[in-house]
Structure 1
Amino acid sequence: MRPHASAAACHNRAVANLVDQAICIRHWDWSETSQTVSLFCRASGILRGLAKGARRERGSFSGGIDLLARGEVVAVVKPDRELQTLTQWTLLQMFRRPHDDLEANLTGLAMAELVHRFLPPAEPHARLFDALLAALDALEGGERPAPELLTFFLTLLRETGHEPRLDDSGIPSGSLAFDPEAGGLVDHRTHARAWRMRPGTAAALALVASGEPADACDPDAVDRAIRLLGAYSRTILGDGFSTLDLLAAAVRRNGAA
């Protein structure tokens, strides 16, 4: 009996029940009643799983897992599997404004895409989770989307080890530039391939990185700072961000209206 008991003990260690608070950052239909989802969990990081029967009204998933919704997830996790089994989802919070306002919608989706692209599975980032939740709460409360995105963007880069260096000491304002390879501000006279930037953009980035509210900055400088961080992130990951591009286009259209 001992070998059998030992095998059972090993099996129990390999299968862990996970209970965590999570925000849905991706979802796909698996069938008429089931979903596959990517959840950003506060204590467990990104969890990709299958929710069988998620769309059944009287099931264990609150009628389905909606994008950007916050809930409590229960899952059976096997480390050797890429797709885990979700057994329960209890809806805790829905964010209505992203469903009704295009800019808020694209901002929320952009933040979700950034998390999805920057984080590997199962790597905890509690501070980043809290930052995403705070940004979604602020959007729901009617705050302007761009300052919330800039604040979150800088937090994400800091938490993932890509925080830009924003010290402009000794750089004349007319020579300010951003070098993505160097990871921060440089003097364009000695870095000819760096991206030229306005002093106001550098000031907005430095102010928000220091913890000051982004809505105190010039709105145009905030928009430019977001575009710069987007370009910087493309350099880091080697690919673009569809939702950031859509958001930039929507902001341009609103500005021209």
Structure 2
Amino acid sequence: MRKAPAVQQAFVLHHYDWSESSLILDLFTREQGRMAVVAKGAKRPYSQLRAVLLPFQRIQVTLSKPAKSADGEGPEVVTLRGAEWAGGATMPAGAALFSGYYLNELLLKLLARQDPHPALFDAYADTLPELHASEDAQSQAALRAFELRLLDQLGLLPDLSLATLTQTPVQAERGYAISPEAGVIASEEAAALDGAALVQLQAALLHGSGAALRQACAPVLPALRAQLRGLLHYHLGQKPLRTRQVMLDVQKLMERI
């Protein structure tokens, strides 16, 4: 296993109170994936970490070497030795804030700890600036592109250019659905994606460009959202994501005002 660098790029996905003065951070690092890290003294009023350990801000962290728990039987504990802001976009607002927390919740629930995904880290960093305060088409394309990249990186997305059962190329004008168990299958449902769109999505995934993938998502947003929602629900379980439920509740509240 390759030794982790002394300084790593990271994002704070979530944090928990650990004591009156400290936090446990769920970090998404480029080099080591998702990690639980103790930030001692981070809650103190004059701690320099308070202004750094914020969600959606790219930071550089220095971590201690893993140490065994006091009883020697628990998981290894990693301590945050230092953190600095690494530049980038400011804190999102409005709908973009909900969208950002939605991405974080996906990563928290689908990524195993200590499982590096450098390309996914880069995709996350590339997606955040594309999220806008209003739920415009650009923001929706960015979300769909990230969902595709996440599923692809975790090995949960079939080759979109092939009918999975027969391994034959999809037909450009024929409709297809993405089944969690059967892969790409012919479909006549309203939310089906045509073969031409699937080929473009697969090509953009292989190309690796976030901009190219968002461009491929843009013309088929409603159908793609429905297909990816089904995939994510299957792999997450039937319990809805908390972020999505909060967003729906806020929308209902706004409709009453």
Matches of residues 140-159 of structure 1 in structure 2 within 5 Å? 144-159=138-153
Counterpart in 2 of 1:243? 243
**How far off its partner does 1:30 sit?**
2.7
Distance 1:138 1:186 in 2: 31
Q: Report the equivalent of 1:128.
A: 120
Alignment of 1:48 with 2:36, yes or no, is yes
What amino acid sits opposite 1:131 in the alignment? A
Residues 12-38 of structure 1 deviation map (CA, whole Å, 9 limit, x = unaligned): xxxx88421101111123344322110
TM-score by length of 2: 0.73
Distance 1:216 1:124, change over 3 A: closer
What does residue 108 of structure 2 align with? 116
- Aligned-pair identity (%): 27
Q: How does the TM-score come out when normalised to structure 1?
A: 0.73
Residue 66 (structure 1) aligns with: 54
Q: Distance in 2 between matches of 1:223 and 1:48?
A: 36
Per-residue deviation, 1:59: 3.3
Structure 2 CA distance for aligned equivalents of residues 197 and 233 of structure 1: 19
Change (3 A) 1:251 1:222: farther
Distance 1:198 1:159, change over 3 A: same
1:93 alignment partner, one of 65, 82, 87: 87
Q: Is 2:34–2:111's contact at 8 Å kept on the other side of the alignment?
A: yes
Residues 1:160 and 1:248: Cα distance change in structure 2 (over 3 Å): farther
Query: Shift in Å at residue 137 of structure 1?
Result: 2.6
Task: Tell me, yes or no, if structure 1 residue 36 matches structure 2 residue 24.
Answer: yes
CA distance in 1, matches of 2:202, 2:78: 36
1:27/1:37 contact within 8 Å kept: yes
1:207 pairs, out of 194, 200, 205, with: 200
Report the structure number with the largest CA radius of gyration: 1
- Per-residue CA distance 1:126-174 (angstroms, 9 max, x = gap): 111000000113337998321111111111111111123323625973x
Partner of 1:231: 230
Matched, 1:76 2:64: yes
Q: Deviations over 1:79-123 (max 9, x none)?
A: 65354211211122364352x22x211211111111112211111
CA RMSD of aligned residues (A): 3.6
* SS of equivalent residue, structure 1 residue 61: helix
One-letter code aligned to 1:56: R
**Aligned counterpart for 1:22 among listed residues 10, 29, 41:** 10
Q: Which residue of 2 is the match for residue 13 of structure 1?
A: none
Which runs of 5 or more structure 1 residues have no equivalent in the other structure? 1-15, 190-195
Closer, same or farther: CA 161–20 of 1 in aligned 2, 3 Å: same
Aligned to 1:11: none
Letter in 2 for 1:137: P
Shift in alpha-carbon separation, 1:238–1:170, aligned structure 2, 3 A: same
